[in-house]
Structure 1
């Protein structure tokens, strides 16, 4: 895509899992991977696209897994929210190393490290071409970062959610385990729910459907994939009504 071409969207939300930041490690943060993702974000930011981000915390702590091991669910979920703040700060640092002004905005107040979530202030940051990373989920237990991403995308009037994953779209079954897995170019919200396709959790899909917010599922491991889709290139699945 040349710099003179207009990207397909003006304001987007990028949702990535915490696991995307750990590279080949089994846990934690892998700095070269964080830097690579930051460069992907910068390449889109350089086109003039306003970018929001939501990052999961599964590379550090997963609330549901903690609850399954006997921890009280609310406590486990709050621990997971704190993990998302750590990931957000890491990505902020990587982006600012590349010269991209970034704000971490937390749903749980922690004023020394992040701004509190105030919708109008966040919109103003976007208008000033700052990347906004929304951390700590919705601030409530029992809601995933997928739901937080859909909520923030609607509040920020984003035109689309980009869901970065390990695979290049939505499949009818796990392509890592089933060589005959079929990839969808397009799929409806209702099909995702009925067939349990695992794009996002049911609350997030329903919220996107009710507000007619499309979701593009693509591979975050494909270099230039994020920027390429904005130019109408690459392989991905579009989820819509």
Structure 2
């Protein structure tokens, strides 16, 4: 099965240590014999810190996005380092490169691509580009909620939701660099267009990736 996995930066680099990179590398390496894997890594707090400083210096939102993209690619390089020989050694900067690198038979790891595209949007576009069978979005919560469950204990959890319903929840959300929550509009529209099966799963435990493949956890996004 061809799988695109997006890993939020707030998960893989929640603390500036190597442990989560190593843990994810172990899980991904355990899957590579049975699946063709494409990974998209987010920027996390380091990206937000750089964006904040750039914004305070008067940078445009497009430039702030570019700076955030640079950080995602650094995180991708860290995961490639952890994966060792099983990963393609270079970080693709666009989807054509990702597809070309995949012909090596190795795991492809990338970060951002262009301004105004969140990690999830990159994953959704990549999933359509490579004809993925499944996309798994690894985030900091158990799946899709109508509000941030860390701020609102009464937030409603959706074990299943349509892409159209997700779009309704995004109305009025901030779209500045570094402020994306869950999926942005581009990601959801790509899911609707491509029809790729999508799961949103808590990625704080890398083993949840295996549980997601068994269909035990998370939110299933119906592309309609």
TM-score by length of 1: 0.79
Q: Give the distance between the partners of 1:20 and 1:80, measured in 2 at CA.
A: 16
2:147–2:155: 8 Å Cα contact kept in structure 1? yes
Output the CA distance in 2 between the equivalents of 1:222 and 1:31.
Answer: 15
SS at match of 1:51: strand
Task: After superposition, give the CA deviation of every residue in 1:183-213 in whole Å (9 maximum; x if it has no partner).
Answer: 1111000000102294311111111111112
Q: Which residue of 2 aligns with 1:15?
A: 6
1:152 and 2:138 correspond: no
Q: Structure 2 residue aligned with 1:89, among 62, 67, 77?
A: 77
Q: Distance in 2 between matches of 1:132 and 1:223?
A: 18
Q: Give the length in aligned residue pairs.
A: 212
Given that 1:16 and 1:165 are in contact with CA atoms closer than 8 Å, whether structure 2 keeps it comes out as yes
Please state if 1:237 is matched with 2:219: yes
Give runs of ≥4 in structure 1 deviating > 4 Å: 63-68
Per-residue CA deviation, residues 28-73 of structure 1 (Å, 9 max, x unaligned), is x320121112222223224x11110111123322376456533222
Query: Structure 1 residue 43 and structure 2 residue 30: aligned?
Result: yes
Tell me which of 192, 195, 209 is aligned to 1:226.
Answer: 209
Q: Distance in 2 between matches of 1:56 and 1:93?
A: 16
Alignment of 1:95-134 (within 5 A): 95-96=83-84, 100-107=86-93, 117-118=96-97, 120-125=99-104, 128=105, 130-134=106-110
2:46 to 23, 43, 60: 60
CA 1:182–1:120: 2 relative to 1, 3 Å: closer
Structure 1 partner of 2:178: none
What is the 5 A alignment of 1:132-171? 132-135=108-111, 137-138=112-113, 140-171=114-145
Larger Rg: 1
Q: 1:120 to 1:58 in 2, by over 3 A?
A: closer
Question: Cα RMSD over matched residues?
Answer: 2.3
Distance 2:10 2:122 in 1: 17
Which stretches in structure 2 are left out of the alignment for 5+ residues? 172-180
Would you tell me which structure has more helix in proportion to its own residues? Answer: 2
Residue equivalent to 1:205 = 188
